[in-house]
Amino acid sequence: MKTKYFILLLIVIVSCKTYKKDRFSYDYDSEKLWINSYKYEVFYGCISEGLKNDSLRIILQNKDLFNPCNELEFNQIDSARNIGNKVIKNAPKPFIKIDLGDEYLLKKNFISFNCLNYFASKELDSIARKEYKKMLKGEIKRALLVST
């Protein structure tokens, strides 16, 4: 009887998979590269909307290659950036204590914090995976049309 309980307990422990993030690496397989590139476009859309024409965004445009994936189509990039725009537009106003003379802080928000948190969210992971699967289906359909 104890053996049965032990085996049952072992099965439960082994079958419960915890959520793990991958270790950082500069090397990506094509799926991971596409998904992270899509997520980056969301992040860039979020930062761009939050900063508008701020100098950091201008520096990024002048110095950054953005991401190494050239497989995202313009409609996918636009869709991703629109998600990022919505993150900032829907961000609540911060609740912070303002001292006399610090009223300029009322025009600020937690832009980079919110954008980075959304980038790392399970929600965006799920959206990016769905978009990747849609992209694959589109490639398969195009390949079938070309081959006929």
Cα 82 to Cα 48: distance, rounded to the nearest angstrom = 11
Cα 128 to Cα 122: distance, rounded to the nearest angstrom = 10
Question: Per-residue pLDDT tens for 6-30?
Answer: 555 555 565 555 555 667 667 778 8
Cα 118 to Cα 102: distance, rounded to the nearest angstrom = 28
Place 85 in a pLDDT band, splitting at 50, 70 and 90. very high
Cα 9 to Cα 137: distance, rounded to the nearest angstrom = 40
Cα 144 to Cα 138: distance, rounded to the nearest angstrom = 10
Residue 8's pLDDT is 52
Sign of the C-alpha dihedral computed for residues 10, 14, 16 and 22 taken in this order: positive
Q: Which candidate, 57, 72, 64, 47, places its Cα nearest to that of 128?
A: 72
What secondary structure letter does DSSP report for 121? Answer: S
Question: Per-residue pLDDT tens for 88-112?
Answer: 999 988 877 788 888 778 788 889 9
Q: Which residues contact 16 (CB under 8 A, 6 or more apart)?
A: none
